Amino acid sequence: MNIILEFLRSKQSAAIIAVLFALALIVGVFSAGIAVGYRKARFSYAWGENYDRNFGGPRHGIFGMREGAQFTDAHGTFGQIIQIDPRSSSRLDTIRITIKGRDNIEKILLVDHATSIQRMRVAVQPEDLAVDDSIIAIGEPNEFGQIVAKFIRVMPPMPILRP
């Protein structure tokens, strides 16, 4: 028993515990990175596989369309509303919004009454959104390459600058 207590009080045991803690931390961070990367890759894959269903694109896929591109953003988007279709979803209370985002990439947002929507500091309803509104949306990806919106902020219109 004394040998065990002496070992636990020694500098060697402190070093061993510190090394084990550091290894556990490294494994945890690595595992989190793998989980995030997997989720982003799964969304990008689903987005590409479902492009024709979401946007009416080519029936044989979009091979080569995004040459050299990185993973598309899975948990949100920003851009301009180009289409609002309240009857296109399988759920009757869901509105399907098409956004022209960064690099002219289209994204599909699914919006329902549980989605929090803010125009400046005023809460608005999904029906108050309009084509050409600039928005920032945050949500969760689904298996069809769409974003189920949890929060949308409607940005003020950009001023037109004249020379």
Tens-place pLDDT, residues 11-44: 888 899 999 999 999 999 999 999 988 888 888 7
3-class state of residue 3 by DSSP: helix
66 — pLDDT class (breaks 50, 70, 90) = very low
Q: What's the pLDDT tens digit per position in 38-59?
A: 888 888 777 767 766 666 555 5
Closest CA to 135 of 96, 81, 93, 65: 81
Whether 116 contacts 151, CB under 8 Å:
yes
> Environment class of residue 142 by beta-carbon count within 10 Å: exposed (0-12), middle (13-18) or buried (19+)?
middle
CATH T-level fold of 73-155: OB fold (Dihydrolipoamide Acetyltransferase, E2P) (2.40.50)
* pLDDT tens sequence across 95-113: 999 999 877 888 899 998 8
Where exactly are the structural domains of the chain? 73-155
